[in-house]
Chains A and B, each alone.
Chain A
């Protein structure tokens, strides 16, 4: 049987999710035996040619050039999978979406008119059809292997869409929100990290983005009762998945 062709692409990002691919370590070499790595700029010299069975896409779209490139990648690809907060929800750099890009440029750069960039940083799904999205800043390597293995087995990846609280309870980690009144985003955030922060006695800060049907406003009311200002609440959501949390909130408002 011909090995499926895999490509790994990068747009605007920190490279961390691509590094997660390399962090598969021993599994990486096994993986390489199952696929033909057709494109992976970070690790090989091979240029992009022909069609791909699977594309892993890291990074958000933030320049005109990237906008046309991602369309090209889509056209060459059977299954397009986004990896990480930037590709799936615009990333930390999507904070510019809520500011005036002109102000942003002026704040730092001497000749703002010369910067070539789009006013917004947006997820891949705003531009092309995405077959599957992996959340996380960075992604969880186990979820990545599960997704790739599922592709080979032609099944849906077994990645939960429920909240971090479920994972936290199962692990028996004391609830920071209930016990210490700390502003933990766990109730509205996707599971997937393996309860990193609460286990280290730190409230969740939303690396994995909003879970489906998250009731964000209700959680913010709890935070307000604990003494947080509206401004503080807004800042809590405006991090690596700002675009998705805000979208989830406005969807909630419409219902």
Chain B
């Protein structure tokens, strides 16, 4: 007997995506398809000046524009050999904290949260409204940090190659500290609440990948590491990634290519928490222990716990940065453009975001590669869905459909991001200087 179910347009995720599952003679085939329209960023970035890159790539995603600005700016600064002063480095980290807070709050309270309460949206049930309100106020705080540094929360405008266009006043930064303090205390309670939610038992043996630096919880710097022994500088990781095309999706699927085999991997809050837990401040680790969260987290459904931990961390880190901030000698450093190529990876709210640029001697883009976190998670997500349906093969289609949607949502996929890369039906493997791209998976 053949059973088929389809979710055409998944709600409460960013962008347009669907799921198709086919069950025939006990065999399950799952396809998580992305059908968002292609936007050709990698094409129209060619020939553009380096000063446009951060503004352009920010427009890939309205939820994580800072991530795109950060990966781009750092890659370009590497090509030009620019070293920014410590306070600039810290302000960029603060900007990233704002984005983590805003993005995580959106996902925890407005997108995924309703799933745990059987609600169709954050405002459809009276009981859920207080939770939605808490989420909105956290989100607002993240947005305030972003606006303070970059003028506005979505597509902020002050970041540029070499530093910032203008620095914030310490006074205005300090003005939000009391609110962040309160939110931090509240956020520890939110971690406890997340830990009390009901999760399906679904531990998986998976490869978690994130940045790692001895100095701090990773955002803009570090090597790429995994729980299966990867430890490589950023550029090295790009050559390990193999992007393949699948028939059903307008986004590429990325896998790690190692010892002649390709394997899926997971990026994002779960991976970061698993690989960097020792760098979390004491208040947070105490809370983690107190509410019995066992690390590493190997159940992808528990993404909401990892996200809550990071939301709390980002608040803590924002306070630390603001209190320690001393203005640098100037908002940006002087530099001369030069020819070159570089890869940089930063930790977007949803996981590592890989950018590679080749620039000519005047600083115009020759070519570029952008690999967003969601396309790196797609392969893992399909396995997850497959395993789930295989176990619950006798259940009703309605149940499978609903639960599959929840699984996809727990990954916090960002579809607008994943699809600047298009996949097509075809059978070719194309060799690029940076690994192999193409082919049907």
Give the interface of A toward B (CB within 8 A). Answer: 10-20, 22-23, 25-26, 28-29, 32, 37, 40-46, 62-63, 66, 91-93, 95-96, 99, 103-105, 107-112, 114-115, 117, 137-138, 193, 196-197, 199-202, 205, 207, 235, 239-240
Residues of chain B with a CB closer than 8 A to A205's CB: 55
Residues of chain B with a CB closer than 8 A to A62's CB: 37-39
A-B contact pairs, 29 of them (CB 8 A): A13-B416, A14-B59, A16-B154, A17-B62, A19-B154, A26-B140, A29-B129, A29-B136, A37-B121, A42-B14, A43-B11, A43-B111, A44-B11, A44-B120, A45-B12, A46-B121, A92-B39, A95-B44, A105-B40, A110-B245, A110-B424, A117-B37, A137-B59, A138-B152, A193-B152, A201-B166, A235-B52, A239-B56, A240-B59
B165-A235 in contact (CB<8A): no
Partner among B49, B61, B166 whose Cβ is within 8 Å of the Cβ of A235: B49
Partner among B36, B60, B151 whose Cβ is within 8 Å of the Cβ of A200: B151
Known A-B contacts: A46-B120, A110-B424. Give 10 more (CB < 8 A).
A40-B121, A41-B11, A46-B11, A66-B37, A96-B40, A110-B438, A200-B158, A201-B165, A235-B52, A239-B55
Compute how far the CA of A66 lies from the CA of B421 in the bound complex, rounded to whole angstroms: 19
Residues of chain B with a CB closer than 8 A to A41's CB: 9, 11-12, 16
Interface centre among B36, B42, B59 (most CB of A within 10 A): B59
B151-A196 in contact (CB<8A): yes
B62-A18 in contact (CB<8A): yes
Partner among B52, B120, B245 whose Cβ is within 8 Å of the Cβ of A45: B120
Partner among A12, A19, A110, A112 whose Cβ is within 8 Å of the Cβ of B37: A12
B150 — nearest CB in chain A belongs to which residue?
A200
Residues of chain A with a CB closer than 8 A to B257's CB: none
B165-A200 in contact (CB<8A): yes
Partner among B106, B137, B157, B422 whose Cβ is within 8 Å of the Cβ of A196: B157
The segment out of B72-80, B272-280, B285-293, B425-433 that lies at the interface is B425-433
Residues of chain A with a CB closer than 8 A to B37's CB: 11-12, 62-63, 66, 117
B59-A202 in contact (CB<8A): no
Interface centre among B44, B124, B166 (most CB of A within 10 A): B44
The B interface, classified by DSSP as helix, strand, loop or mixed, is loop
Residues of chain A with a CB closer than 8 A to B40's CB: 93, 95-96, 104-105, 108
Partner among A25, A43, A96 whose Cβ is within 8 Å of the Cβ of B12: A43
Compute how far the CA of A255 lies from the CA of B63 in the bound complex, rounded to whole angstroms: 42
A10-B16 in contact (CB<8A): yes
Residues of chain B with a CB closer than 8 A to A240's CB: 59
Give the interface of B toward A (CB within 8 A). Answer: 9, 11-16, 36-40, 42-44, 46, 48-49, 52, 55-56, 59-63, 65, 106, 110-111, 120-124, 129, 132-133, 136-137, 139-140, 143, 151-155, 157-158, 160, 165-166, 245, 331, 416, 421-422, 424-426, 428-430, 437-438
Partner among A15, A199, A235 whose Cβ is within 8 Å of the Cβ of B62: A15
Interface centre among A13, A37, A66, A103 (most CB of B within 10 A): A13
B59-A114 in contact (CB<8A): no
B62-A111 in contact (CB<8A): no
Compute how far the CA of A25 lies from the CA of B422 in the bound complex, rounded to whole angstroms: 34
B36 — nearest CB in chain A belongs to which residue?
A12
A209 to chain B, nearest CB (A): 14
A23 and B422 contact, Cβ closer than 8 Å, known pairs A45-B120, A66-B37, A96-B43: no
Residues of chain B with a CB closer than 8 A to A199's CB: 151, 166
A44 and B438 contact, Cβ closer than 8 Å, known pairs A14-B416, A29-B136, A196-B151: no
A11 — nearest CB in chain B belongs to which residue?
B37
Compute how far the CA of A240 lies from the CA of B11 in the bound complex, rounded to whole angstroms: 27
A25 and B140 contact, Cβ closer than 8 Å, known pairs A66-B37, A95-B44: yes
Partner among B11, B36, B136 whose Cβ is within 8 Å of the Cβ of A25: B136
A25 and B137 contact, Cβ closer than 8 Å, known pairs A15-B14, A44-B124, A196-B152: yes
Partner among A93, A193, A207, A235 whose Cβ is within 8 Å of the Cβ of B39: A93
B151-A29 in contact (CB<8A): no
A45-B121 in contact (CB<8A): yes
B152 — nearest CB in chain A belongs to which residue?
A196
Compute how far the CA of A103 lies from the CA of B46 in the bound complex, rounded to whole angstroms: 12
Interface centre among B9, B62, B121 (most CB of A within 10 A): B62
A43-B121 in contact (CB<8A): yes
Compute how far the CA of A108 lies from the CA of B43 in the bound complex, rounded to whole angstroms: 7
Closest 5 pairs between A and B when the two form their complex, measured CB to CB = A16-B62, A111-B426, A44-B121, A114-B424, A196-B151
Interface centre among A10, A62, A200 (most CB of B within 10 A): A200
A24 — nearest CB in chain B belongs to which residue?
B136
Compute how far the CA of A207 lies from the CA of B155 in the bound complex, rounded to whole angstroms: 10
Compute how far the CA of A46 lies from the CA of B11 in the bound complex, rounded to whole angstroms: 8
A138 — nearest CB in chain B belongs to which residue?
B154
Residues of chain A with a CB closer than 8 A to B143's CB: 23, 25
B112 to chain A, nearest CB (A): 12
Residues of chain B with a CB closer than 8 A to A95's CB: 40, 44
